[in-house]
Amino acid sequence: MSDASDPPMWPLMVFYGMSIISLPLYILVFACLLRLRCVSATYNTTFYSILLQHCIADLLAMIVFFIAVDARYYPFLKEYYFEYQKYYVAAASYNNIYYFLYIRCTGIVFLSIQRYLIITAPTSLITHKVQNASKLQIITVYWIVPTLISIVVLKDYKFTYLENMDIMADQEVIKRNTLMALIVVSLTCILCSSLYGSLFYYIRRHTAGFSRSLRREVHLAIQVFVLLLAFFAILVYYGFQNYFSQTQNTGPIFYMRALYPMANGLLSYINPFCILFLNKDLAYQVMKSVTCRRFNTSEVHISIVASNSNKNHGKVVHVGSTRTDESTVVNHNNFVL
């Protein structure tokens, strides 16, 4: 009971330190990406549409964490959370953890599949459908799939706050949710690892025939792969959490729950650093935004035309698009499909 009533505070302090640096940076990257999508066709393709939704999921996860989880400990808000806990307030504090986990899991799967298809099977029918998916289709699939997975979790509402504002939940619910989270994260890591293993094998066999434009596609795949590494850390976290819940070891369960802010911060805040260090084109635009320089739309058009010319001379990439007229120019750009 001492563990439950007095959880460690250092993970929350570490999370605050991560947030001070990473959250403003993430907002800057997100705003820059939104702005670029208003002026450049380059950033309106499938990859960046999925990446944008992933950024939204990360930022929402942080906002909801501050509102539903962190804010309930503040003295001037505690009484309101405690008074209205039966109106899904306590349930939201618990269920949002799994909901946003599943959103990020499906997001990394979608990004990995898109990278795999565009590099290894640019002429296949499924690649054609992915390339030509509308923004509405991407948004719908991105959010509906994890929401359907999360119905099992979201339907639970019988949670109560303890006096110290920790959440009391039924033991069977905890066991089910931690096991389900472990399964979903495990499947995510296995599927994405298989995709990147196959992609690495494909690249090793076809490196000599890669055009410059396709090499940029590979660089974007590396960006997603580094993002995937954070999910292996989450896999370890839920491995321990599931073990303690299945053995009904209450003390470590509360201790692991106290570590959640760090785990959640890692899962969310790694993305902007992956973008800045592994996506040179977008990082360049972010730097221009920081220095208050205007986006040069002509640069984007020039790069698109140049990459289109490169693809006409490449062995692999020149058949990567099936659109015509203006949309052909968009889909033939050298790093965003």
Quick: pLDDT tens for 80-114.
888 888 899 899 999 999 999 999 999 999 999 99
Q: Identify which of 29, 36, 26 has the alpha carbon closest to the alpha carbon of residue 295.
A: 36
Q: Is residue 215 part of a domain?
A: yes
Percentage of the chain beyond pLDDT 90 is 50
List the one residue out of 233, 224, 92, 74 whose CA is nearest residue 154. Answer: 92
Query: Does residue 207 sit within a domain?
Result: yes
Beta carbons of 114 and 50 less than 8 angstroms apart: yes
| Residues comprising the chain, all counted | 337
Residue 334 belongs to some domain of the structure: no
Q: CATH number for the domain including 74?
A: 1.20.1070.10
pLDDT beyond 60 at 337: no
Query: Cβ–Cβ contacts within 10 Å for residue 230, how many?
Result: 19
Q: Indicate the pTM of the whole model.
A: 0.82
CA–CA gap between residue 239 and residue 185 (Å, rounded): 10
d(CA 222, CA 274): 9
Whether 234 maps to a domain, the answer reads yes
Asked, for residue 132, whether it belongs to a domain, the answer is yes
- How many domains are contained in the chain? 1
Q: Say if 70 falls within a structural domain.
A: yes
**Residue 117 lies in domain:** 19-291
Tokens describing residue 31: 């705003």
Average pLDDT, integer, range 273-278: 92
Q: Does residue 303 belong to any structural domain of this protein?
A: no
State the residue for tokens 């590099």.
119
Whether 79 is covered by a domain: the verdict is yes
> pLDDT by residue (tens digit) across 6-64?
667 888 899 999 999 999 999 999 999 999 998 888 899 899 999 999 999 999 999 99
Residue with the bigger pLDDT between 39 and 193: it is 193
